[in-house]
Structure 1
Amino acid sequence: MISLDCDDLFDTWRTQARWLLSHGVDPSRVSWANEGVADLFASDNELPETQGPYQARVPRALLDTLERAARYRGDQRWSLLYEVLWRVSHGDRSAMLAGDKLGSEFNGRIKQVQHESHHLHAFVRFVALPENDGPHYVAWYEPAHDILRSASEHFIGRMGRHRWLIATPRDGVYYDGEQLIHQRQCPLEWQQLAQNVEDPHSDMWLTYYSHIFNPARLNPKVMQGHLPARFWKNLPEGPLIPGLITQARTGKQQDGQAIGIKGRGGKRISARIIGG
């Protein structure tokens, strides 16, 4: 068994995989460390120092999809990619298709990565900072997969020339008005800034959110499908959601109105006004 560590970098993994293919090393003989943790049963056999005789040819489209799938965090993160690459390089392109068992897992990981990118676009919350030499807006986010660098490009054209920062428990990005700077290890000062910033408009937003929440149309399962509960803790409105759901289940869902609204007395409209 050959044990490798690509440091969770796709370019490093691609170089290692190219050497393995050139020597005809079967996927069953290779194990990659996952997030720095090596396979307990892997040996210390070394990667050959010289290029092997086999020249593998793979479609460019496969390299692009391998790169997207590599952003997935989970078991067999890199080993699965090599197995797909091995089969395709040996003429079996069914490994790229959803109808194949391996291809199904491969495509499923790509979809999860895509969903996580969409989640970032929808649920990241920027907070404005006073004018300074640093970022104008900051946000804290906790992605499930390594999508920050690619998905955050979405905001470059939408934030104009403003400087902004997104910090996560792992990495961080900072747009300085001209270029996007990605740090694989998010600086501690970025994390502290993003986690401790106070939004001066938060009370106004919470009041607005609690009043537009419609208990009569609440479907918790559908709601969590669109807004997974794992994001609630980092959303300003997150702490309100459990209470709003409870109130809906205990009566407000029947009224279809907030307590503060349904308790107000209505105004009588005279018949003369109605008739004109």
Structure 2
Amino acid sequence: MQAENDSLTVMLEAPDDFAGFRQAARVLLALGAAPEVVHWRWTDELSTQAEDGDLFADAGAADAGAAHAAAAGAWVADAPARVITPDALDRLTIAPGQPVHIRKPQLAVLRHACCHRNPGRFMLCYRWLWRLQCMPSLAGDALDADWREIERLARAVGREIHKMHAFVRFRPAQDEKGAPLHVAWFEPEHHIVRAASGFFRERFSNMRWAILTPGCSVLWDQECLQWGPGATQAQAPGPDAGEALWLAYYQSTFNPARLKEQAMLREMPRRYWKNLPETQLISGLVAGARSRTGLMLAAQPAAQRA
């Protein structure tokens, strides 16, 4: 097989399958597969939204679907564009070559970049690795156009992970057996649920929780993370008495003298507001803060104002 003369389609297991990308890239670089002949696709077994029933009841079926996709990823003999999985690539006999070495911080940047929603993210990362193999000094070039774009994607993903950690709001609910389960709804801009879930596993390890998103859902059963299909907001629980208490606390601790609207919007962009219970108070609190601040200034003696 001459990889450089074939059009290759690498089938990854998920939109954020960095492990599969890394596995495939290592082999493709050894084969000498140029970036322009490699196409990256992924199966998205969990992206179909579950309309009803238990979101996690078919987790085994999803695993079976992924295994079926991997089995179907063998070389297609008569197809002009051959489809292969990272596991199938690993089984190919290749001559030993010079491996590509990158630093751990660069590896972390690549991992984040591959979680971006940009459809060309895997192609971009592979092209940079290909060029790095041909020119090792590229590893230290912070101004390289490809690397700067990779960093831009990674920064956006890092910000989104931070926002997910900050803006997920759990509400008490029950599972199909009546056991307590805290459920949250979140709408990420990028494919970050897997990358961000470790934070919640460590912080809320002593309770059972689930995070529902349009792309996929994750359940922590106090032993392991289970993955399910995407959900809709209607499948998440509604407000409860505890949320009313939180809103009362939020309103009582709001300090109008310290209000900085632009800073608030930078930290809490408006696209997250629809899923945060406290944001229903913000408009009224901001309007009240302006009038309260004006009254406080007006009450000061003229000499103090000067």
TM-score above 0.5, yes or no: yes
TM-score range, shorter chain: 0.7 to 0.9
2:278 is aligned with what amino acid?
E
Q: Which of 131, 152, 158 does residue 108 from structure 1 map onto?
A: 152
Aligned pair in 2 of structure 1 residues 105, 96: CA closer, same or farther (>3 Å)? farther
Q: Percent identity among equivalent residues?
A: 34
Aligned runs of 1:122-161 on 2, under 5 Å? 122-129=166-173, 133-161=178-206
User: What residue ranges of structure 2 are gaps of 5+ in the alignment?
Assistant: 1-5, 45-78, 300-306
Aligned pair in 2 of structure 1 residues 31, 210: CA closer, same or farther (>3 Å)? same
Q: Which of 157, 160, 163 does residue 208 from structure 2 map onto?
A: 163
Task: Return the offset for 1:79.
Answer: 0.9
Kept after mapping to 1: 8 A contact 2:174/2:180: no
Kept after mapping to 2: 8 A contact 1:125/1:140: yes
User: What residue ranges of structure 1 are gaps of 5+ in the alignment?
Assistant: 37-42, 263-276
Cross-structure match for 2:294: 254
Q: Distance in 1 between matches of 2:246 and 2:43?
A: 38
After superposition, give the CA deviation of every residue in 1:26-46 in whole Å (9 maximum; x if it has no partner).
22344435898xxxxxx9533
Cross-structure match for 2:285: 244
Q: Which of 194, 197, 204 does residue 238 from structure 2 map onto?
A: 197
Kept after mapping to 2: 8 A contact 1:140/1:234: yes
After superposition, give the CA deviation of every residue in 1:196-251 in whole Å (9 maximum; x if it has no partner).
333222222222222322333322221111111111100011222233334445x3
**Paired residue total:** 247
Q: Which has the higher contact order (CA 8 A, sep 6+)?
A: 2
Cross-structure match for 1:216: 257
Q: Which of 9, 17, 23 does residue 25 from structure 2 map onto?
A: 17
Structure 1 residues 138-147 or 43-52, which shifts more? 43-52
Q: Distance in 2 between matches of 1:153 and 1:205?
A: 25
Give the structure-1-normalised TM-score: 0.74
Cross-structure match for 2:76: none
Q: Which of 211, 222, 246 does residue 177 from structure 1 map onto?
A: 222
SS of 2:190's partner is: coil
Cross-structure match for 2:49: none
Aligned pair in 2 of structure 1 residues 98, 112: CA closer, same or farther (>3 Å)? farther
Q: Distance in 2 between matches of 1:105 and 1:95?
A: 14
Kept after mapping to 2: 8 A contact 1:97/1:104: no
Task: Return the offset for 1:173.
Answer: 1.0
Give the structure-2-normalised TM-score: 0.68
Structure 1 residues 116-125 or 131-140, which shifts more? 131-140
SS of 2:219's partner is: strand
Q: Distance in 2 between matches of 1:35 and 1:219?
A: 44
Structure 1 residues 22-31 or 78-87, which shifts more? 22-31
| Alignment root-mean-square deviation, CA | 3.3
Which protein has the bigger strand share? 2
Task: Confirm whether residue 66 of structure 1 aligns to residue 110 of structure 2.
Answer: yes
Aligned pair in 2 of structure 1 residues 97, 177: CA closer, same or farther (>3 Å)? farther
Kept after mapping to 1: 8 A contact 2:109/2:150: no
Aligned pair in 2 of structure 1 residues 44, 208: CA closer, same or farther (>3 Å)? farther
Greater gyration radius: 1
Aligned pair in 2 of structure 1 residues 198, 21: CA closer, same or farther (>3 Å)? same
Q: Distance in 2 between matches of 1:81 and 1:94?
A: 13
Q: Distance in 1 between matches of 2:295 and 2:80?
A: 67
